[in-house]
Amino acid sequence: MNQVIISAATAGETNPLVPNVWEMGVVLAGFAVLMFIVVKFVVPMFEKTFAERAEAIEGGIAKAEKAQAEASAALEEYKQQLTDARAEANRIREEARAEGAQILADLKEKAAAESARITAQAHVQIESERQAAVVSLRSEVGTLATTLAGRIVGEALNDDERSARVVDRFLADLENQNAGAAK
């Protein structure tokens, strides 16, 4: 059998399991050229693109972090302004309450003063009208008393002094009777 294998190899038949040397050389040379092109041109382009993308991503992340920091700062500033605005609103509200209370107190004081003035003026007017009524009543009562006394006595009492004395005596008696009845 050994002879059969050797004779087949010498006969020019090729074994499909053993590669052809020339084909292997051509494939290796093609592979080397292709490897050279890939290493020299394609890999640097991939690396450049990868670096650009990595830089863009890192730049985007940095921009996002910066934007996040600015947004946080703006939020804090907004919160501070909102707190300040609320404090200002509370202060204004308290000032308005205090001013309203002061205005109300002033109005009450003015109303009380006006009421006291009107009351005092009314008392003065009432007293004045009472005095006028007393004077008017005295003269009317005096006239009536003089006329009545003249009719009783049977003579005219036209003397002013005498009639004034009679009227005063009559009014004094009336006041005494009223004072006695009131007790």
pLDDT tens sequence across 152-163: 766 666 666 766
pLDDT > 80? residue 167: no
* 84, part of any domain: yes
Q: What distance in Å separates the CA atoms of residue 159 and residue 166, rounded to the nearest whole number?
A: 11
What pLDDT is recorded for position 144?
Answer: 77
Range of the domain at 144: 22-182
Quote the number of domains for the chain. Answer: 1
What pLDDT is recorded for position 112?
Answer: 93
pLDDT class for 180, splitting at 50, 70, 90?
Answer: confident
Q: What mean pLDDT do residues 112-124 have?
A: 93
* 39, part of any domain: yes
What pLDDT is recorded for position 105?
Answer: 93
